[in-house]
Structures are given as structure tokens and as C-alpha cells.
Amino acid sequence: MKYKTGDKVKFLNEVGGGVIQQILSPTMVSVCNQDGFDIPVRISEIIFAESEDSAEKVFNQDFEHVETDNYPSLPVETHRSVKLQRFSSLHKNAFGIYLGYVPQDQVWLVKDAIDLYVINYTDFEVMYNLVMEEDDGTFSGVDYDSIAPFSKVHIATIERDELEKWLKGYAQTLFFKENDTQVRMPLHAPFNVKLLRFLEKENYTTSNFLAEKGIFVYLGKSFHATPLQQELLKKDSQVLEGTQVKIAQVVCEEAFITPYKTDRFTAEVDLHIESIVDDHSGLEKGQILEMQKKLFIRCLESAIKEKLQKVIFIHGVGIGSLKSEINQILKQYPNLHYFDASMQKYGCGATEVWVK
């Protein structure tokens, strides 16, 4: 059944209806209800409003989209999803949700504007909410929409001097599939991309889903809810003895190594202190080394647990203290094979670890 903006519809699962304001996706529309609020609704949960039945004349009155200073309306637009293409790449990207920072200048990479995308590299339809954290600790909603499977949405074109404002925040997503066997948990993923990553051409990589090089931040993927989580979700709105029972939000914890993954079986961890903390001016050398060692061990343990094949640890050259500490730690793991990483890509400042 085909719907278009302006169609009057009724809700199947609740009283009332409204007017379609926007086609969000092949299976989702935005409906302005009788109270003037735009709400996303699945197409399978609405029907056309009939106009001849006298019993429905009250419902089929002309709905007005209420616009106030406090609730500005969104413009009606076509869906923004653009299908991803498949490309051969040295980086085998894991299925999931990504932020993509793609330079418009694909020759120099480190200058001119950058296009920011939310990338849905899954077979689910995804609804997302993108929020950026401000310097004062407050949050600003940047964009929300839905993305078709294996598609991308352009968020903004960012000038280099404004880039830092777009590097820290949260991405929230819901996963939808017409026929699924289990409940899917929503994704609530923090991200904090270091500005230094954008200064070196070597940090811009290819991918399996875009022709252009970019810096791609893996946010996570869809998880099935466990039986306990499903039970909590069912009880979330339960009322006992007249009191609303508030169930704590269930969060699916991702593996510690996940933000560092470059593909399904590989990760790259930068141990430079600038990549660990924003301000290290008050730290002693011994404190810095301890922080680097702790990050190394946590990433290594997580990579082993997640059965990754390879991890690159970038430690730099310096006087060799961190590399020496890393080698001493690696000797305690009999099932690991390690050696200097590619000199062409990393110089003399990285160690490549293989899990046997």
C-alpha cells in the first residue's frame, strides 16, 4: 500500500490518527497527530482514513499541523538514505554502525572540508539520534532520522577549524527488521575521536562500503536481548499497587577492544598519551607509563577474549621505555606471536601482535 505526504490515516493499535508529514523509509512514516505532534509510525500500523462513513466524519476533519515557537515543524523531504557500494579493501570492516569523516579533497586528505556520515553497514533498518557534547558538558541534538539497510546519511559538511566540535558525543540507534526471531537491544554508543588523527594522511583508510578514504569510527552492532533483558523490558511499564515501577535501563556492554577495531578480526591501538587523555601536562613520566601499560593490557586481554587475529599497538620511538615494557608483558603470554609492525606504515614505533 503506497502512502504519500498529506494522506490522512488512522492508527490500528490505538485511537486516533493524523496526516502523513514525511516518508521516513519504505516501512516508516512520520504522522502529525490530532495534538499537532509528529510521531514515527510503521506503515503496517496505519490505514487510510475513510471519508464517507458518517461515524468517522469527526475523525476525518481537516488536521492542522500546529506550529509554535516552541515546536517548529520539520520540512517535508524525501528520504536521505543513499545506498552503499561494495568495494575491495585491505580493511575488512565489521558489520555495524559507523561514523564516517570523509575529506572532500581525496588527494591531500588533511585539508579542506570534511563530510560527516552515519553509515548503516547492516541488514537492519536503523533509526538513529546523534548528539554532540559541548565544552560546558551540555549536549546538543545534531540530527535524527532513519537509514535503510546498507546505506548512509549525510549529516554535515564541516570546515577544519570547526572539526573539534564534531568529535565527541553519543549515537543512539534502534534496529528494525520486518521478520526477526528475537528482540533487538538499542545501541547507546559514546564516541570521542582525537583531533590528532586528522593531521596524518596515514590515518585515512579505505573501507568496504565507501569509495573515498576517511576516518571511520565503529559504534557497534545489533544484539539480541537476553531472556533476562526481555523480561525487564516487558516489566518496564508495569504498575504495582498503584505505583509506577521504573526498571533500570539495560545496557549491552561492548568489548573494550571494540572502538579500536579496524575490521572484524583486527584492531589498532594508539598508546601515545595524547590519544589517552586530553591534557597530560600535570602527569609525571612514571604516571604516563603506567596509564599506557594499563591501556595496553586491557586491550590485549579484550582482543584475546574476542578472538581477534591481530592487534597493532602504536607506541612511538622515544627512548624505548614503553616498547620494552610491552615486550616484557607479551613474554607472559605463550599463545601470542609479536614483532615490529610495518616500517613503511608505522616507522619504528609499533608492535604487531598475533593471537595463535
Tell me: the pLDDT tens digits for 139-169?
A: 999 999 999 999 999 999 999 999 999 999 9
| Mode of pairing for the β-strands spanning 96-103 and 28-33 | unpaired
Question: Could you tell me the residue range of the domain that residue 92 belongs to?
Answer: 82-251
302 vs 93, higher pLDDT: 302
Asked if residue 247 and residue 122 are part of one domain, the reply reads yes
Domain boundary among 221, 251, 281: 251
- CATH number of the domain enclosing 153: 2.60.40.1600
Asked if residue 91 and residue 239 are part of one domain, the reply reads yes
Asked if residue 101 and residue 241 are part of one domain, the reply reads yes
What grid cell was written down for 201?
Answer: 594522511
In this predicted structure, the answer to whether residue 46 has a pLDDT above a threshold of 90 is no
pLDDT at 39: 82
- CATH number of the domain enclosing 279: 3.30.1370.110
Domain boundary among 251, 277, 298: 251
Domain presence at residue 342: yes
Average pLDDT over residues 335-346: 88
pLDDT at 330: 93
Helix, strand, coil tally for the chain in percent (to 5): 20, 35, 45
pLDDT at 25: 67
Domain presence at residue 2: no
Q: Domain tally for the chain? A: 3
d(CA 55, CA 16): 13
Dihedral over Cα of 42, 47, 48, 53: its sign: negative
Asked if residue 305 and residue 205 are part of one domain, the reply reads no
Tell me: the pLDDT tens digits for 274-316?
A: 888 877 788 888 899 999 999 999 999 999 988 899 999 999 8
Amino acid at 344: Q
Tell me: the pLDDT tens digits for 56-75?
A: 444 444 444 444 444 344 34
Asked if residue 227 and residue 152 are part of one domain, the reply reads yes
What does pTM read for this prediction? 0.51
pLDDT at 172: 94
In this predicted structure, the answer to whether residue 53 has a pLDDT above a threshold of 50 is no
Average pLDDT over residues 201-226: 84
Q: Using the 8-state DSSP alphabet, how is residue 42 labeled?
A: E
The answer to whether 128 and 146 are in contact (CB under 8 A) is yes
Asked if residue 325 and residue 297 are part of one domain, the reply reads yes
Domain boundary among 232, 251, 270: 251
- CATH number of the domain enclosing 17: 2.30.30
Asked if residue 234 and residue 275 are part of one domain, the reply reads no
pLDDT at 345: 82
pLDDT at 246: 40
Asked if residue 15 and residue 133 are part of one domain, the reply reads no
In this predicted structure, the answer to whether residue 355 has a pLDDT above a threshold of 90 is no
Asked if residue 303 and residue 333 are part of one domain, the reply reads yes
pLDDT at 243: 43
Percent of the chain scoring above 70 in pLDDT: 80
Asked if residue 287 and residue 247 are part of one domain, the reply reads no
Asked if residue 207 and residue 316 are part of one domain, the reply reads no
Asked if residue 287 and residue 206 are part of one domain, the reply reads no
Domain presence at residue 69: no
